[in-house]
Each structure stands twice: as C-alpha cells, then as structure tokens.
Structure 1
C-alpha cells in the first residue's frame, strides 16, 4: 500500500493526512478495515459515526502533525 500521508518522525510513524481530503480519509478507512487490532474508541472519542477509520480507533493518539497508532499501522513498513 502506498501512503503519501505516513511520515516517520523520531522513529515514530505518524499519519499526517487531513480528513477533509477524500484520499486521506479513504486511506484511513482502508488501513482500519485491514487492521486486525482495530477497535472502535469510546463514544466520546468517535469523530465519524458508523465509520471504520483510524480516526475512530482507540489506539490512535493525536499529535501536532496528525496521529500515531499504538498498534502500528497495518501493512505499512
């Protein structure tokens, strides 16, 4: 999977895509759908109801550039 939104900063993989960009949002849907560790976050933390997307995953953590995944992004090395 090619991912133009994934950056590595200080050894940590970050997703830097903007959810307003369709391609970036679709990438998070694809990653979450293919992720064996994906788990929907608690209700208060869900951004997009009824969507399997990294933006809704309990293992994503926000940072200044976007978010990182505590279970590692699936299929991306």
Structure 2
C-alpha cells in the first residue's frame, strides 16, 4: 500500500519535508497508525508528531481523527492547530 503524506507549518519545519510518498510494507489501517509509524522513526519525527503535541490531521483534505481508515493512494496530512498562509 502506498499513501501520500503532507506536512505543514511547524510540523514541516521539524520533519524537514513538506511531502512524502510512503510505501507501507506492514498493515496500517488508520490515520492514527500512520502517525504511530512515523513517530517510530524517532528524532524530530517523534517530537513533531508526539501523542501529547497539539496536532491536527486530515484525510483526503478533510479534517479527521485517529480512527479514520486509510487505503491505498490516500493522502494524510499533519499540521498544528493554527497555520498561516
């Protein structure tokens, strides 16, 4: 399964990229599981996406929660609660 990731504002600055295509070799069923997988990378990824950090998520450009299912080809985005233009 392949998904498209997008990162905005301070999350983008911390992880060092605005977007990525992620090929998943292990089963990932939800946006929350994508977040957990990215946190496992450690370093800035763990800090930017930490469970206690104020963070918004979107699936297919619609705000979502951690239980939202993901499918092949989907887009998942992470960003702080307030972003600028």
The TM-score with structure 1 as length reference comes to: 0.31
**Which structure carries more strand by proportion?**
2
Give TM-score scaled by structure 2 length.
0.30
